[in-house]
Amino acid sequence: MVTMSSPAEARVDLGAIGDNVALLRDRAAGAEVMAMVKAEGYGHGLVPAARAALAGGATWLGVAKLAEGLELHEAGLAGRSGVRTLVCLGVPGEPYGKGVQAGLDLAAGAPWLVKEIAEAARRTGVPARIHLKADTGMSRGGATGEDWPALVDAALAAEAEGLLRVVGLMSHFACADEPGHPSIGRQLSAFQEMVEHAEKAGIRPEVRHLSNSAATLMIPEARFDLVRPGIAVYGLTPVPREGTFGLRPAMTLVAGAALLKRVPEGSGVSYGHTYVTGRGTNLALVPAGYGDGIPRHGSNVLEVLAAGRRRRIAGRVCMDQFMIDLGDDTLAAGDEIVLFGTGERGEPTAQEWADALGTISYEIVTRIGSRVPRVYTGGPGAGPPRSAKPGNAEPGSVGTGSVDG
């Protein structure tokens, strides 16, 4: 086993990100690709993920918040020629002037936001580029069909003053990850109608876009001019029951064993003694806890790869650490333990952790905290994905904690 120096680190394979974007570009069949890099590139690191996505053929970057767009601008990515960056989520009172000057595209789903952006453009003397956001049935951001004409009119009025240009029309699917869901067709036709209304009213968009990862991979008729994949960029499947689509997970979370000890039968482990050793056994301390983003709900549930096989977390996950039960196997302090990764070596994947916890892989990777350094590896064209081999979990006796997983 490899000896490592930091307590825990997230290894990010930038080659995998590039390859995943290339695969998505292929599937997008002519539509451009906006790689969603919000939330620190789904936990992988905003700027490195953005660079890798551009290397893979993305021509747009997507973020949720203005500050994220400004960070890309400062890194020299947002304004790079041939690259556009869209800020998807606007709130009142943000420094939109800075966004406009940085050359960011801004999404607007309400007339007040169009006006706020227009005023910022007036102050800075730089016309804004905006994307009108339609609520076609998700009931989250954007204007509903009823409110759409007022949004379009507000944008046309600001366009007439030369304060902005509507360069995009967009919406977002609620259930694209559930193939055949009746809302998919309804949202698609609502979007087409709203686009038609806007174009008849005089809007001349450069791009119309609706598709997240699931739609990019599964709903060809929703690709329009641009697709906005997020989770698939990082190699995680947006539709677990449809398989991996050939995507390669980019993040491997590892920790170095911090302490090994022999304890007798009947030893209660960690807070609350929810795990009690069934016999004399070797315990290893893993220096990563919920303060690093390891879900506390994973206590006595999640598995990791240590000393060549799967081991379930023994007892409660603490803020900085958790324990695993090695039986009679041993590790040396500093030996590498793989929490999740590609699955190629038999370790769990983020998808497997998500399944065990009743959540989605998005949450598993995005929540890995800033205390965990990201270590970047890999280059475009690293090997093909291989399927995960199931490991051998070896639980001890468990008290009140669940061992389902």
Q: Which is nearer to ligand PLP, 228 or 248 (CB)?
A: 228
Stretch of residues binding ligand PLP (CB under 6 A), selected from 17-25, 142-150, 227-235, 394-402:
227-235
Distance CA 239, CA 258 (A): 36
Binding status of residue 229 toward ligand PLP by CB under 6 A: yes
Q: Which is nearer to ligand PLP, 172 or 312 (CB)?
A: 172
Q: Which is nearer to ligand PLP, 230 or 385 (CB)?
A: 230
Token pair for 367: 């929540």
Binding status of residue 61 toward ligand PLP by CB under 6 A: no
Stretch of residues binding ligand PLP (CB under 6 A), selected from 11-19, 50-58, 112-120, 229-237:
229-237
> What residue type is 285 in one-letter code?
L
Q: Is 3 helix (H, G, I), strand (E, B) or coil?
A: strand
Q: Which is nearer to ligand PLP, 134 or 388 (CB)?
A: 134
Q: Which is nearer to ligand PLP, 227 or 331 (CB)?
A: 227
- Count of residues of this chain found to bind ligand PLP when the rule CB under 6 A is applied: 12
Stretch of residues binding ligand PLP (CB under 6 A), selected from 181-189, 190-198, 225-233, 279-287:
225-233
Q: Which is nearer to ligand PLP, 236 or 337 (CB)?
A: 236
Q: DSSP string covering 188-217, please?
A: HHHHHHHHHHHHHHT---SEEEEE-HHHHH
Residue 332 CB, nearest approach to ligand PLP (Å): 39
Distance CA 229, CA 179 (A): 16
Q: Which region, left, alpha or beta, applies to residue 174 given φ > 0 means left and ψ of -120 to 50 means alpha?
A: alpha
Q: Among all residues, whose Cβ is closest to ligand PLP? A: 230
Stretch of residues binding ligand PLP (CB under 6 A), selected from 11-19, 94-102, 223-231, 321-329:
223-231
Site for ligand PLP in 318-377 (CB under 6 A): none
Residue of 17, 22, 33, 36 that binds ligand PLP (CB under 6 A) = 36
Site for ligand PLP in 66-125 (CB under 6 A): 88
Chain length of the chain: 405
Q: For the CA atoms of the chain, what is the radius of gyration? A: 24
Binding status of residue 238 toward ligand PLP by CB under 6 A: yes
Closest by alpha carbon to 387, among 347, 339, 359? 347
Closest by alpha carbon to 300, among 324, 326, 330? 324
Q: How many CB atoms lie within 10 A of CB 378?
A: 18
Binding status of residue 27 toward ligand PLP by CB under 6 A: no
Stretch of residues binding ligand PLP (CB under 6 A), selected from 72-80, 199-207, 228-236, 294-302:
228-236
Residue of 101, 136, 213, 267 that binds ligand PLP (CB under 6 A) = 213
Residue 212 CB, nearest approach to ligand PLP (Å): 4
The label of the residue with tokens 């009743």 reads 358
Closest by alpha carbon to 274, among 233, 237, 323, 319? 323
Instruction: Tell me the sheet residues that pair with 85.
Output: 61
Q: Which is nearer to ligand PLP, 107 or 255 (CB)?
A: 107
Q: Is 317 helix (H, G, I), strand (E, B) or coil?
A: coil
Residue of 45, 109, 142, 230 that binds ligand PLP (CB under 6 A) = 230
Return contacts of 277-282, CB within 8 angstroms, 24+ apart.
Answer: 277/325, 277/396, 277/397, 278/396, 278/397, 279/396, 281/325, 281/326, 281/327, 281/328, 281/396, 282/325, 282/326, 282/327, 282/328, 282/329, 282/330, 282/331
Q: Which is nearer to ligand PLP, 231 or 257 (CB)?
A: 231
Residue 324 CB, nearest approach to ligand PLP (Å): 31
Residue of 27, 131, 165, 172 that binds ligand PLP (CB under 6 A) = 172
Task: Just list the catalytic residues.
Answer: 38, 271
Binding status of residue 46 toward ligand PLP by CB under 6 A: no
Closest by alpha carbon to 276, among 395, 394, 397, 393? 397
Binding status of residue 169 toward ligand PLP by CB under 6 A: no
Answer yes or no: are the C-beta atoms of 327 and 283 closer than 8 Å.
no
Footprint of ligand PLP on this chain (CB under 6 A)?
A: 36, 38, 64, 88, 172, 212-213, 228-231, 238
